[in-house]
């Protein structure tokens, strides 16, 4: 009875290695990124940015996204919008016609824009995302702070004034030091010249005195 030839060892090794790679977890799984706090001026539009990374490409048949709103830390969550193959907006009347999905799941962008921001829009906005076969559920939380006026840029103005004053003072000090140094150098040069003249005159007198003494 003859034995059928088996697969060569290199082929078996490559097949086993491919199987291990396919079963191994990809990196650290899904990661989601968003700012913890965003400020928006009352009556304007604000984009709540949320992005994610995943080992797998987005498959719209499996991909899911939820944005929810909480008025306070322990309050119940209200649905703002969800993405299940297409965007479906929540039914909250207070957000009606003001929520617009401006992200792109194919580019890992889950962001949405809130138009005509109101004071009572302040609170927590939660972004949940699933991208199977990645088993990790991504979650990010953003606190939206609504302000009524843009804070004045006093700090920068004061800093410019202080910086200019200090710079001007230092320039004056450096100029004074340079002038003093130049004056001292001129005085030293004059003293050296006077000393040299005195020394030369002394030598001339010394050479003439012996002749007068012999007479």
67 neighbors 54 (Cβ within 8 angstroms) = no
Q: What is the arithmetic mean of pLDDT over 34-62?
A: 96
Q: What is the arithmetic mean of pLDDT over 181-206?
A: 66
User: Count of alpha carbons within 13 Å of 174, Cβ hemisphere only?
Assistant: 6
Tens-place pLDDT, residues 72-95 = 988 999 999 999 999 999 988 999
93: which 2 tokens?
Answer: 């009347």
> Does residue 141 surpass a pLDDT of 60?
yes
Domain ranges (residues) in the chain: 27-147
CA distance 200 to 86: 105
Q: What is the arithmetic mean of pLDDT over 144-168?
A: 70
Enter the pTM of the model. 0.60
- Say which residues have a Cβ less than 8 Å from residue 214's Cβ, sequence separation at least 6: none
Residues making up the chain, counted from first to last? 215
CA angle 114, 118, 122 (to 5 degrees): 80
SS (H, E, C) the chain: CCCCCCCCHHHHHHHHHHHHHHHCCCCCCCEEECCCEEEEECCCCEEECCEEECCCCCCCCCCEEEEEEECCCCCCCEEEEEECCCEEECCCHHHCCCEEECCEHHHCECCEEECCCCHHHCEEEEEEEECCCCCCCEEEEEEEEEECCCCCCHHHHHHHHHHHHHHHHHHHHHHHHHHHHHHHHHHHHHHHHHHHHHHHHHHHHHHHHHHHHHC
pLDDT band at 187 (very low <50, low <70, confident <90, very high): confident
> Does residue 131 surpass a pLDDT of 50?
yes
75: which 2 tokens?
Answer: 């309050």
Starting at the edge strand that comes first in sequence, how are the strands of the sheet with 46-48 ordered? 46-48, 112-114, 99-101
Domain 27-147 has CATH 3.30.10.20: no
pLDDT band at 179 (very low <50, low <70, confident <90, very high): confident
Q: What is the arithmetic mean of pLDDT over 98-111?
A: 96
CA distance 193 to 186: 10
């Amino acid at each position: 009875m003859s034995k059928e030839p088996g697969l060569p060892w290199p082929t078996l090794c490559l097949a086993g290695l491919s199987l291990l790679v396919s079963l191994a977890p990809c990196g650290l799984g899904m990661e989601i990124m968003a700012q913890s706090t965003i400020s928006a001026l009352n009556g304007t539009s604000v984009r709540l940015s949320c992005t994610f990374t995943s080992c797998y490409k987005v498959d719209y048949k499996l991909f899911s996204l939820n944005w929810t709103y909480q008025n306070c830390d322990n309050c119940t969550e209200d649905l703002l919008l969800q993405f299940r193959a297409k965007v479906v907006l929540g039914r909250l009347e207070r957000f009606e016609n003001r929520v617009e999905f401006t992200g792109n799941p194919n580019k890992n962008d889950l962001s949405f824009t809130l138009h005509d921001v109101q004071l009572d829009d302040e609170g927590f906005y939660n972004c949940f995302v699933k991208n199977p076969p990645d088993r990790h559920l991504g979650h990010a939380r953003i606190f939206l702070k609504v302000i009524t006026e843009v804070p004045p840029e006093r700090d920068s103005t004061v800093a410019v004034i202080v910086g200019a004053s200090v710079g001007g003072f230092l320039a004056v000090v450096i100029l004074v030091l340079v002038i003093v140094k130049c004056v001292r150098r001129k005085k030293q040069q004059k003293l050296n010249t006077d000393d040299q003249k005195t020394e030369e005159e002394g030598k001339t007198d010394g050479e003439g005195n012996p002749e007068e003494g012999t007479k």
